[in-house]
Each structure stands twice: as C-alpha cells, then as structure tokens.
C-alpha cells in the first residue's frame, strides 16, 4: 500500500475532528437549553435585553435555541455578553457551578469548531482550486 498525500490526511483529520466536536457540542447544548431556559427566562427574557420580535419568535423551537445560546454566553463569558446583548444587567444568575463549567466548555467547543471550519474551507478550498 502506497503512502497517502499529507494534505489529504490533514483534511481527513479536520473532518473527523469536526464530527467529534459535533457529537459533543449538540448534546451539551441540549442539556444546557433544558437547564438554563427555565431558570433564566423570568429574569432575562424581556425587554431591553431582547427586542419585541425576538420575545415572540424565541418562544418556540427551533428559535428558542438561539435564546439558550445567549444565556450560555452570559453564563460562560459574561464580559462579552454584557457588552453586547445584556447591557446593564447586574443581577445574580441562579445557576450551579457545573452549568458554568458546561457553558465554558460549550464556548470553547464553538471556538475550536470555528478554527477548524476556517482551516477546512480556507486550506481545503485552496487545495481544491490550485492542487486538484
């Protein structure tokens, strides 16, 4: 059996990594959605943090997942969330320590997936256009 092209092996590694990240990301998101939404809706799901159209649209699936992403960012990385969506929020969040850890893991997984997506489409696209 001959040797494989190193660029192809690297792209296979990127694709497999994205599949593993997706297998971790989606279940953690579902768990956090079920945990955070009932606890934080009364405190945060109102104006001025959400627009009136968002208050209406984010009540049902699948757009309610976007609401939970906002909560995940607020719990996991509050300085960014308070600069963007939750300006002026000074209250205490009623979440457990494990939820904060899971939110930070979720954000880290999203950032790693973003880097892998840039590698796949940037480097893989370059390879598809100029090498193949």
pLDDT tens track for 69-83: 888 988 888 888 878
Which one, of 33, 95, 92, 35, lies nearest residue 64 by Cα? 33
pLDDT tens track for 29-50: 988 988 888 888 888 887 888 8
d(CA 114, CA 29) in angstroms, rounded, equals 16
Low-confidence ranges of the chain (pLDDT < 50): 1
d(CA 82, CA 87) in angstroms, rounded, equals 5
Q: What is the DSSP letter of 119?
A: I
**pLDDT value at position 132?**
59
Question: What is the CB neighbour count within 10 angstroms for residue 45?
Answer: 18
**pLDDT value at position 2?**
58
């Amino acid at each position: 059996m001959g040797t494989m092209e190193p660029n192809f092996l690297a792209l296979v590694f990127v694709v497999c990594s994205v599949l593993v990240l997706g297998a971790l990301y989606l279940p953690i998101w579902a768990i956090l959605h079920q945990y955070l939404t009932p606890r934080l809706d009364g405190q945060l799901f109102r104006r001025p943090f959400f627009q009136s159209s968002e208050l209406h649209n984010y009540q049902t699936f699948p757009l309610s997942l976007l609401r939970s992403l906002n909560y995940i960012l607020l719990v996991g990385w509050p300085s960014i969330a308070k600069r963007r969506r939750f300006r002026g929020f000074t209250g205490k969040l009623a979440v457990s320590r494990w939820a904060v850890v899971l939110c930070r893991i979720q954000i880290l997984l999203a950032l790693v997936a973003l880097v892998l997506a840039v590698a796949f489409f940037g480097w893989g696209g370059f390879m598809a256009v100029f090498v193949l």
